[in-house]
Amino acid sequence: MPFAVERDLARRALDTARTRGATYADARFVRRQVEDAVVKNGHVDTIDRSDTFGFGVRVVADGAWGFAASQVVTADEADRVAALAVEIAKASAVCKTAEVRLAPVAPATGAFRSPVVQDPFALALEDRVGLLVAADAAMRSVKGPRTTRANYEIWREEKLFLSSEGADCEQTIVETGCGISAEAVGDGELQIRSYPAAGGRTQNQAGWEFVEKWDLVGNAPRIAEEAVALLTAKPCPQDVRTTVVIGDAQLMLQVHESCGHPIELDRALGWEAAYAGTSFLTPERLGTFRYGSDTVSIRIDSTTPGGLGTFGWDDEGVPASEGWAVKDGVFVGYLMSRETAAALGKPSNGTMRADGWARLPLIRMTNVSLMPGDAGSLADLIADTDDGIYMETNRSWSIDDKRLNFQFGTQLGREIRKGTLGDLVRNPTYTGITPEFWGSCDAVCSASEWRMWGTPNCGKGQPGQIGHTGHGAAPARFRNVRVGVVR
Amino acid sequence: MTLWTEPELRRICEAALHATNGDQAEAVVSALTSGLTRFANNTIHQNVASREASLQVRVVVGKRVGMVRTHDLGADGIARAARSASEIALQAPENPVFAGLPPARPIAPAPSAFVERTAAATPLERATRVASLLRRARERRLSAAGYLSTTSQELAVASSEGVWAYAPSTMAAVETVVTGPAGTAWAERNAMDLGRIDVDAVAEEATAKCLAAQGPRDLAPGTYEVVLEPYAVSDIAQFIGSSLTGQSVEEGRSFVTGKLGRKVTGDVTIVDDPFDPELAPRAFDYEGQPSRRVTLVERGIARGLVYDFQTASRVGAESTGHAVLPTPTATYAALPQHLRIEAGTQSRDELIRGVARGVLVTRFHYTRWVHQLRSIVTGMTRDGTFLIENGEIAHPVKNFRFTQSYHDALGTTRGVGNDLHLFAAGEFMVGGASRRVPALRLGTFTFTGSTQY
């Protein structure tokens, strides 16, 4: 057992917390190893490894929460941190308005491991970096890009969770991500293309086989050529309403921002008001609010293979689960913690996750996915569209603090004319109000076009935490969308 | 909570450098002791403390570079990190544009950014101050959310080239969104000294504005004259600052590319001043290079850029001492870390009085580049947006989406506030940038949409 010593320390911390007055306590020990590499403009820019190990103790005392963490893994420090967590909880209680209540859960026991075909850490460094060098060179074989980048990240987290209610479980999560991008500059224009997704890379719970499946080298020349071609492409039509077909790599971010965040129950209850805000999906709307068209169904599922939100248990020891956020267009489900679920008289569906040992768990998206429809392939969907714009790969994203008004920009657009893709369009943007936008969705591509995407960079909380979330999506069509906001 | 202290950080750095196997080596230790009391719905719901120090070791073999970061600062952990970085450097492909590690250069003394009262703050002290703020919100039948944090940071940089630099600093912050039945408002204060933060004044500002913000009316999107509170100006400063770097010009992403010496904004002056005693001063950067005061924009004319050592070497410039802590995917980069928009002569109320018809914006939300080269940013207004008519605040209006070139907006500057507000990098100030900015009155600002509240 990799956590033999730490298990004893966790028990000690729980005992100390109980002795100091905690009515509930949990302890998490987390080791995270990450390697990132970047090849930029033909040179290895970065090979960076990090290794972090520590523990956090979360308690309820005097009916309020406290949390403390340390990287010093000793018995004395376990005592100190547990005592500090209780001291903090008692300080929290000076202005409490209600006692903390937790929805019941059976104590978690056992172990979970991400399925991995090819352990990315076992591969030779030169093989990992060599692939980036080749992909970067393939982009630079095209004349024109100013800046090229290729990168990967491999990520392994091992964690032990014990609670005063008897939970004792271990998990090992392995993730692998990769991406390439090319930037072209000229005549007052800056254009970027990236692959397979925006933001540097896409990521899955998987081994090196995930990198190989994307064929970075084979796609590199196309990406570079598109970046250059966009410099002289026609501008997106300015401030018009039209039909938009959105590719799955962009649509997954639309799901993330306009569904994933608003269904976080802590946000809906006001607990995140000061940072990214609240949610228009307030509890009285649960089960009745028309979120989108009948075509729109969105699933919460922490069991989906490969998803960045897949696990055995969340960081409160609640087992992985699956359910609906939106079913046939109606809002029916939240992402919940034990505390927020209790406020609705429901059991938790297990979505509390922390960014390492030094942060406390928050409600995070697990895998929140738009389910496939019956519109066939992307080619079928385009063929079925008379007039509009196809938009692909995110470039810009923003949404208001209730998750209603959003605006996205994509790297690439293409005209759709009489069922065929036409000229490139540069600087495409689209904007709308969330339920109106999803209400205008009249077609989602079939399961053959559905892919699980990963966003390894979701920010939430104060102090800030980075979450890894999964989003499946297939291309979809939306009618009467406002596009072309940029002058 | 006690500091790690300079001798301890020096010992860690020296142990790391000693254990490396390469031509050059660098060790950076960032040690943080942080407490944050978070509240919402008029109660404390998250209350945390952590103590964490990380070591970053960079090893150079010829033109090959390896970097490793670890939290394991025991003897074995330090040695393991140093060995691992050395192994990477031996195996990595060459980077022909790598300029080597920078030499040691004299570092001028900077004012202290460390205040013991902030470092020593207890959970009960934080909670008591929060309780006072919440009491004021409750008295007005409003609901407050936000946080109060205290952080102490120690930064140490050492290298085989003789670099040694160490500085402790502290930051205290309180921010709050206050919510009423039909409107919200914001207030925020940051200071190196917790004792200089008047929580009751923060509560008064936010609650008074919240009461004024109830019942916002529709106002058509369009181009308006605006007065931006410092909270909103801080966002503009952050985006503009990120484009005033050597690397962003080198890569053609900056709006000042090819425009140094030319007019790029209206009558505003933007400097980066690592020695400003009110701006979390620090005299060196994350490469251990001395930080220089740099005039970035002088009365609208683009004058200078900030550089890290690697970028400066590549483009034939000199490091200004603005390297940031490397991230896994951005090893060599610079940012203005002590950015100041120089104060003007008018009070906030005088700025408002000058506007015949316009919009008062408290703050921006979820701002992102739409087109960096043109400095076009989109985002929302939030927590107190008002129509100004005939120099007076007429009534609250529903929030807008804007899609606006920030430097074009600065090009229409009609007034600069006389009161600078300090903004810290974030809740915990790891490797980030602080800013001091005034309120601004801008002639045109384009709102491209609106929301329902």
Interchain pair B253, A433: CB under 8 A: no
3-class secondary structure, B329: coil
How much is the pLDDT for A413? 98
Interchain pair A49, B72: CB under 8 A: no
Indicate whether B432 pLDDT > 90: no
Q: Which two tokens stand for residue B396?
A: 């609250």
| Cβ atoms < 10 Å from Cβ of A283 | 14
Question: Counting every residue, how long is chain A?
Answer: 487
pLDDT digits 0-9 by tens, A66-90: 999 999 999 999 999 999 999 999 9
Interchain pair B370, A429: CB under 8 A: yes
Q: What is the mean pLDDT of chain B?
A: 95
pLDDT > 90 in chain B, percent: 94
- Residues from chain B contacting residue A131 (CB–CB below 8 Å): none
The average pLDDT across B363-383 equals 96
pLDDT digits 0-9 by tens, B274-311: 999 999 999 999 999 999 999 999 999 999 999 999 99
Which residue is closest to A280 within chain B, CA to CA?
B452
Q: How confident is the model at residue B50 (pLDDT cuts 50, 70, 90)?
A: confident
Q: How confident is the model at residue B325 (pLDDT cuts 50, 70, 90)?
A: confident
Q: Are B321 and B274 in contact (CB under 8 A)?
A: yes
- Where in chain A are the domains? 4-232, 235-483
How much is the pLDDT for A69? 96
Tokens 């960096």, located at residue: B372
CB proximity under 8 Å: B 255-314 to A: none
- CATH class, domain A4-232, is alpha beta
How much is the pLDDT for A486? 78
Q: How far apart are CA B422 and CA B276, in angstroms?
A: 11
How much is the pLDDT for B429? 47
3-class SS string, chain A: CCCHHHHHHHHHHHHHHHHHCEEEEEEEEEEEEEEEEEEECCEEEEEEEEEEEEEEEEEEECCEEEEEEECCCCHHHHHHHHHHHHHHHHHHHHHCCCCCCCCCCCCCEEEEECCCCCCHHHCCHHHHHHHHHHHHHHHHCCCCCCEEEEEEEEEEEEEEEEECCCCEEEEEEEEEEEEEEEEEEECCEEEEEEECCCCCCEEECCCCHHHHHCCHHHHHHHHHHHHHHHHCCEECCCCEEEEEEECHHHHHHHHHHHHHCCCEHHHHCCCCCCCCCCCCCCHHHCCCCECCCCCCCEEEECCCCCCCCCCCECCCCCECCEEEEEECCEECCCECCHHHHHHCCCCCCCCEECCCCCCCCEECCCEEEECCCCCCCHHHHHHCCCEEEEEEEEEEEEECCCCCEEEEEEEEEEEEECCEEEEEEECCEEEEEHHHHHHCEEEECCHHHCEEEEEEEEEECCCCEEEEEEEEECCEEEEEEEECCCC
B153 exposure class (CB count in 10 Å sphere: 0-12, 13-18, 19+):
buried
Which phi and psi (to 5°) does residue A108 adopt? -80, 130
pLDDT digits 0-9 by tens, A204-258: 999 999 999 999 999 999 999 999 999 999 999 999 999 999 999 999 999 999 9
Interchain pair A401, B369: CB under 8 A: no
Three-point CA angle B241, B244, B247, nearest 5°: 120
For the four alpha carbons of A468, A469, A470 and A475, in that order, the dihedral sign comes to negative
Q: Are B305 and B249 in contact (CB under 8 A)?
A: yes
Q: Which two tokens stand for residue A426?
A: 């540069």
Q: Which two tokens stand for residue B185?
A: 């408002």
**Cα B373 to chain centroid, rounded:** 21
pLDDT > 90 in chain A, percent: 98
Q: Per DSSP, what are the bridge partners of residue A168?
A: A109, A162
Buried b (16+ CB within 10 A) or exposed e, A12-43: bbbbbbbebebebbbbbbbbbbbbbbbbbbeb
How much is the pLDDT for A396? 96
Which domains, and CATH codes, for chain B? Answer: 6-212 (3.30.2290.10), 222-450 (no CATH)
Interchain pair A358, B52: CB under 8 A: yes
How much is the pLDDT for A200? 83
- Residues from chain B contacting residue A95 (CB–CB below 8 Å): 39, 42-44, 127, 130-131, 134-135
Tokens 């002088």, located at residue: B298
Residue A318: what residue type? V
pLDDT digits 0-9 by tens, A393-437: 999 999 999 999 999 999 999 999 999 999 999 999 999 999 999
pTM over the 0.90 mark = yes
Q: How far apart are CA A162 and CA A145, in angstroms?
A: 52
For the four alpha carbons of B8, B13, B18 and B20, in that order, the dihedral sign comes to positive
How much is the pLDDT for B1? 55
CB proximity under 8 Å: A 7-46 to B: 34, 36, 38, 41, 43-46
Indicate whether A487 pLDDT > 70: no
Q: Are A278 and B41 in contact (CB under 8 A)?
A: no
The average pLDDT across B409-438 equals 85
Distances from the Cα of B423 to the Cα of A54, A442, B69, B379, B434, angstroms: 30, 46, 28, 19, 6
How much is the pLDDT for A199? 81
Which residue is closest to A339 within chain B, CA to CA?
B45
The average pLDDT across B212-224 equals 98
- Residues from chain B contacting residue A46 (CB–CB below 8 Å): 67, 326, 328-331
How much is the pLDDT for A265? 98
Indicate whether B239 pLDDT > 60: yes
Q: How confident is the model at residue B430 (pLDDT cuts 50, 70, 90)?
A: very low
Q: How many CA atoms lie within 13 A of B238 on its CB side?
A: 20
pLDDT digits 0-9 by tens, A427-469: 999 999 999 999 999 999 999 999 999 999 999 999 999 999 9
Residue B258: what residue type? G
Indicate whether A330 pLDDT > 60: yes
3-class secondary structure, B63: coil
Q: How confident is the model at residue A187 (pLDDT cuts 50, 70, 90)?
A: confident
Residue B357: what residue type? R
Indicate whether A169 pLDDT > 90: yes
In angstroms, what is the C-alpha Rg of chain B? Answer: 23
pLDDT digits 0-9 by tens, A7-61: 999 999 999 999 999 999 999 999 999 999 999 999 999 999 999 999 999 999 9
For residue B419, give how far its alpha carbon lies from the nearest alpha carbon of chain A (Å).
24
Buried b (16+ CB within 10 A) or exposed e, B408-439: bbbbbbbbbbeebbbbbbbbbbbbebbbbbbb
Distances from the Cα of B297 to the Cα of B38, B237, B260, B417, angstroms: 37, 12, 9, 17
**A66 lies within 8 A of chain B by CB:** yes
Which residue is closest to A404 within chain B, CA to CA?
B451
Interchain pair B401, A151: CB under 8 A: no
Q: Are A55 and A78 in contact (CB under 8 A)?
A: yes
A124 exposure class (CB count in 10 Å sphere: 0-12, 13-18, 19+):
exposed
How much is the pLDDT for B326? 80
CB proximity under 8 Å: B 341-380 to A: 365-374, 376, 378-380
For residue A446, give how far its alpha carbon lies from the nearest alpha carbon of chain B (Å).
31
How much is the pLDDT for A146? 96
Distances from the Cα of B400 to the Cα of B60, B394, B413, angstroms: 50, 17, 20
Question: Counting every residue, how long is chain B?
Answer: 453
How much is the pLDDT for A149? 96
For residue B224, give how far its alpha carbon lies from the nearest alpha carbon of chain A (Å).
16
Between A and B, how many CB-CB pairs are < 8 A?
Answer: 290
Q: How far apart are CA B195 and CA B189, in angstroms?
A: 12
Q: Which of B46, B129, B313 to mutate to test the interface with A (most CBs of A within 10 A)?
A: B46
End-to-end C-alpha distance for chain B, whole angstroms: 44
**B44 lies within 8 A of chain A by CB:** yes
**A87 lies within 8 A of chain B by CB:** yes
ipTM of the modeled complex: 0.95
**A183 lies within 8 A of chain B by CB:** yes
Buried b (16+ CB within 10 A) or exposed e, A445-474: bbeebbbbbbbbebebbbbebebbbbbbbb
The average pLDDT across B404-431 equals 86
Interchain pair A129, B92: CB under 8 A: yes
Q: How far apart are CA A285 and CA B35, in angstroms?
A: 36
Q: Are B225 and B360 in contact (CB under 8 A)?
A: no
Buried b (16+ CB within 10 A) or exposed e, B252-287: bbbbbbeeeeeebbbebbbbbbbbbebbbbbbbbbb
Q: How many CA atoms lie within 13 A of A353 on its CB side?
A: 32
Nearest by CB to B48, from A95, A360, A405: name it: A360
3-class secondary structure, B203: helix
Q: How confident is the model at residue B327 (pLDDT cuts 50, 70, 90)?
A: confident
**A54 lies within 8 A of chain B by CB:** yes
pLDDT digits 0-9 by tens, B328-350: 777 678 999 999 999 999 999 99
How much is the pLDDT for B118? 96
Interchain pair A190, B372: CB under 8 A: yes
Three-point CA angle A254, A257, A261, nearest 5°: 140
Q: How far apart are CA A482 and CA B2, in angstroms?
A: 56
